[in-house]
């Protein structure tokens, strides 16, 4: 390939020292919702969703970026997690289990779904997987839409509402917290809960990445035949990536159901899978920091378009030629194509490490 990952031409002062960079990122992550709150509650909501997407993108990155398996039905695992929560913690069946049961169960179901799907398909030609997972995503959606009869399981297209919120140690995150006379918004509570999940996920994924398993995945991605030739059981390793990635999807799905209080098949369309895929393509497949930035950018995109693109078009043409939703699809599809053609290493090209040592050359 000719287009390699040259570093961005940034001024030297911009390339922070590691020791400065890390505290700065932590500070930013902690302060972000407070800044957003100053701009209006809806922006905090956007941040909450951004964190859920970050979680999803981290999981999909494990499958696509590390192991090189193109999963186009990833959102189905998100759906499995969300519906697990909706079934087991809502008035729909009258079951109200606590999060520490529902969330692991959702993750486990998602992992099982991943194994069930991966087991027959992963021994095949790599690119068949893309189409099989695409089909799988659609099947799950068709079932969600139609399993309201003869027995009402999913409540069909209407979806399930009044879902139990996330309640940790008696603290209901859906209510504003009154702390010594200060009102702490529910949106902030969710933000910090999700942030904790994201940090935990990053730690786990980093550990996997710098391990014999992470290297085996990268080996399969770079050259499957050579990976086999050094004794890697490629099928098992792919299955592992698939199941672990699905687990992340299941967890974020459960959190999504709790946060939103409502799930319906509409939230799990193919478009959502594509959005998450674009997040990791933008960030640079395999590169965790880039993937996180990509996820945040794309979650904020619809809001930004709503706030800026519409008024801008009004000012320029006197009417809205492209509504924000169309504009978003246009930008997403163009992003995918242009990134692959021009910057396959992502917007923030960074070396992904698979050993504890630093790399010399970029």
142-161 positions binding other proteins, by CB under 8 A: 142, 145-146, 150
Inter-residue contact 346 to 290 (CB < 8 Å) = yes
307 vs 351, beta carbon nearer other proteins: 351
220 vs 257, beta carbon nearer other proteins: 220
User: 29 burial class (0-12, 13-18, 19+ CB within 10 angstroms)?
Assistant: middle
For 160, the 3-state DSSP assignment is strand
CA distance 19 to 296: 23
Does 110 bind other proteins (CB under 8 A)? Our answer is no
Secondary structure letter of residue 97 according to DSSP: -
For 140, the 3-state DSSP assignment is helix
Q: How far is the CB of 13 from other proteins (least distance, A)?
A: 25
Secondary structure letter of residue 2 according to DSSP: -
CA distance 46 to 305: 13
CA distance 311 to 309: 6
User: Among residues 63, 246, 274, 279, which is the contact residue for other proteins, using CB under 8 A?
Assistant: 274
175 vs 233, beta carbon nearer other proteins: 233
* DSSP-derived secondary structure for 167-180: EETTEETTS-EEET
1 vs 12, beta carbon nearer other proteins: 1
Stretch that binds other proteins, among 37-45, 65-73, 105-113, 159-167 (CB under 8 A): 65-73
Stretch that binds other proteins, among 180-188, 297-305, 309-317, 346-354 (CB under 8 A): 346-354
Helices (H) and strands (E) in the chain, counts: 13, 8
Does 219 bind other proteins (CB under 8 A)? Our answer is yes
Does 288 bind other proteins (CB under 8 A)? Our answer is no
Does 118 bind other proteins (CB under 8 A)? Our answer is no
Does 121 bind other proteins (CB under 8 A)? Our answer is yes
Stretch that binds other proteins, among 33-41, 74-82, 174-182, 201-209 (CB under 8 A): 201-209
User: Among residues 36, 56, 61, 68, which is the contact residue for other proteins, using CB under 8 A?
Assistant: 68
Does 108 bind other proteins (CB under 8 A)? Our answer is no
Does 336 bind other proteins (CB under 8 A)? Our answer is yes
66 vs 256, beta carbon nearer other proteins: 66
- Of 93, 298, 103, give the one whose Cα is nearest residue 200: 103
Does 88 bind other proteins (CB under 8 A)? Our answer is no
CA distance 291 to 55: 10
User: Among residues 132, 193, 201, 293, which is the contact residue for other proteins, using CB under 8 A?
Assistant: 132
Does 316 bind other proteins (CB under 8 A)? Our answer is no
- Token pair 């697990």 is found at 84
CA distance 338 to 334: 6
Does 326 bind other proteins (CB under 8 A)? Our answer is yes
Stretch that binds other proteins, among 24-32, 33-41, 117-125, 190-198 (CB under 8 A): 117-125
Q: What are phi and psi of 264, to 5 degrees?
A: -150, 160
Does 18 bind other proteins (CB under 8 A)? Our answer is no
- Tokens representing residue 176 in the block: 């504003």
- Of 110, 360, 350, give the one whose Cα is nearest residue 247: 110
CA distance 235 to 241: 10
| Interface with other proteins in residues 227-246 (CB under 8 A) | 227-234, 240, 244
107 vs 218, beta carbon nearer other proteins: 218
């Amino acid at each position: 390939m000719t287009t390699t990952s040259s570093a961005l031409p940034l001024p030297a002062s911009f390339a922070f020292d590691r020791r400065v960079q890390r505290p700065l990122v932590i500070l930013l992550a902690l302060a972000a919702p407070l800044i957003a709150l100053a701009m209006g509650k809806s922006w905090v909501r956007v941040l909450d969703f951004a964190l859920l997407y970050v979680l999803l993108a981290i999981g999909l990155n494990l499958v696509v970026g590390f192991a090189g398996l193109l999963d186009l039905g990833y959102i189905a695992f998100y759906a499995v997690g969300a519906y697990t929560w909706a079934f087991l913690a809502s008035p729909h069946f009258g079951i109200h289990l606590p999060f520490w049961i529902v969330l692991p169960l959702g993750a486990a179901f998602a992992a099982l779904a991943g194994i069930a799907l991966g087991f027959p398909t992963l021994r095949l030609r790599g690119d068949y997987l893309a189409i099989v997972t695409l089909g799988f995503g659609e099947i799950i959606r068709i079932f969600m839409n139609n399993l309201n009869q003869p027995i009402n399981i999913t409540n069909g297209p209407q979806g399930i509402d009044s879902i139990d919120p996330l309640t940790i140690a008696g603290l209901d995150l859906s209510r504003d917290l009154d702390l010594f006379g200060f009102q702490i918004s529910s949106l902030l509570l969710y933000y910090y809960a999700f942030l904790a999940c994201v940090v935990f996920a990053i730690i786990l994924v980093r550990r996997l990445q710098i391990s014999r398993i992470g290297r085996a995945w990268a080996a399969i991605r770079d050259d499957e035949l050579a990976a086999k030739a050094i004794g890697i059981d490629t099928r098992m390793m792919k299955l592992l990536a698939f199941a672990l990635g699905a687990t992340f999807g299941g967890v974020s799905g459960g959190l999504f159901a709790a946060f939103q209080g409502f799930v319906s098949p509409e939230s799990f369309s193919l478009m959502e899978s594509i959005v998450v895929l674009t997040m990791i393509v933008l960030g640079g497949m395999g590169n965790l920091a880039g993937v996180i930035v990509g996820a945040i950018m794309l979650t904020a995109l619809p809001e930004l378009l709503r706030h800026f693109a519409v008024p801008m078009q009004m000012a320029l043409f006197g009417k809205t030629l492209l509504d924000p939703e169309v504009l978003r699809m246009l930008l997403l599809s163009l992003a995918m194509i242009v990134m692959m053609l021009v910057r396959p290493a992502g917007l923030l090209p960074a070396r992904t490490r698979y050993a504890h040592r630093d790399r010399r050359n970029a």
